[in-house]
Chain A
């Protein structure tokens, strides 16, 4: 069943790549640009994908491998699946740390995880077209007449990033493992600085081919700083302020 879902997702993604690539060529996007998008996106995805994989393995302790694998391949996300499974198991009087052996308990968790997650798919076909016409249309219309569209796009982007950066500075995670503290702020600062330095190097030495990889590389440097800090200054790295 899991293999079927994997194949389904891959075919669907390949379908969209082929259609987009074809249209990209028609509207004059260079092959180079689309190729760079493919390579940098694959590299970008690698570290977060490992985190998702680790969640699959953690959930597999209680639910076996198939259900978490499927759920985190279709619609699922790190935070939702754990919360959904935890809630279902606690309603059944169990916990996520013990193996589910009763088939009724297992199917209850499977139904809960799936029903809880399907709502966006019910909503999307009605919402996407309308939203793109109204919000997207309004932005692109004003783009034509002035710089306002650019600024709104940048502001929306900054708004998204701000939510995550604020969480790294002042947030609490649901499982208490990644609360804001010295480590999260250090990683944040190191990755920002690494990105700035790498971008400057690329511009100065005209390394345009490496430019798409500066972002994933900075991300890895940021993650590496967490390892170094934890290894050499474990007491300081453990400080959280919430």
Chain B
């Protein structure tokens, strides 16, 4: 890994990150100034008492999960532009798979970042165009009775089914444990947040892979031992 390049990516990421943070904080302030109305602190505290434990804790788990998969540039951009688990993460992984590069390599870093940046631009343009040009027609897409309703309600199974197909066939033995584990967890906690569920299934999957490929671990361990 070219540490110089990674250092630069971290620097750029941090600068854009702080710029976005300022922009984010400015939004409600500007709205309050323009509308000459400041928030109801009681209701705000009540809402944040629900949101903060729910999402701030998840943020720790999500960051730890996404960084090794998306690299630095991809992670910064993903968190700034949002919609990670349902869009940026699968998009980045699909691009690396398509370009035959691996996460945690310089090639992976480049492809993942390009892919997530393109995804962010596409989403931004689609939303802007939709809002400005098609706002009156759009609710009809998902309205009761629309032919497209069921399609757009099932974007995620379609997306992850297609994305996982190749891997599941190639590594079907590894896939059994996290799939069963995920379903069992959901039987008891059917509305578990996907960020937490994902962390658990990744751990199950890695343990399952370690058990299935224990011979490789053993070889590696022996090599390390003989070197020392």
Contacts and interface: CB of A to CB of B under 8 A. Distances in A.
A45 B12 CA distance: 24
Given A15-B12, A24-B114, A178-B153, A44 B186 contact: no
A125 B139 contact: no
Closest 7 CB pairs of A and B: A166-B182, A159-B202, A222-B158, A103-B37, A159-B205, A191-B161, A162-B178
Q: Chain B interface: which size bin?
A: 35 or more
Nearest to B23: A8
Interface string B5-20: 1101110111011111
B128 to A, nearest CB: 5
Contact of A166 (B87, B123, B170, B201): B201
Interface in B143-178: 147-171, 174-175, 178
Given A174-B191, A192-B162, A227-B150, 4 more contacts: A19-B8, A83-B51, A131-B68, A192-B168
Contacts of B163: 161, 215
Given A60-B135, A147-B216, A191 B63 contact: no
Q: Chain A interface: which size bin?
A: 35 or more
Given A49-B123, A156-B69, A38 B114 contact: yes
Contacts, number: 581
Nearest to B183: A170
A88 B151 contact: no
A217 B121 CA distance: 20
A70 to B, nearest CB: 6
Contacts of A201: none
B120 A9 contact: yes
Contacts of A29: 99, 101, 107, 110-111
Given A53-B130, A77-B86, A167-B194, A14 B117 contact: yes
B46 interface: yes
Nearest to A27: B106
Interface string A129-146: 101100111011011011
A34 B130 CA distance: 28
Contact of A136 (B31, B67, B147, B161): B67
Interface in B186-222: 186-187, 190-194, 197-198, 200-206, 208-209, 213, 216-217, 219-220
A52 B77 CA distance: 17
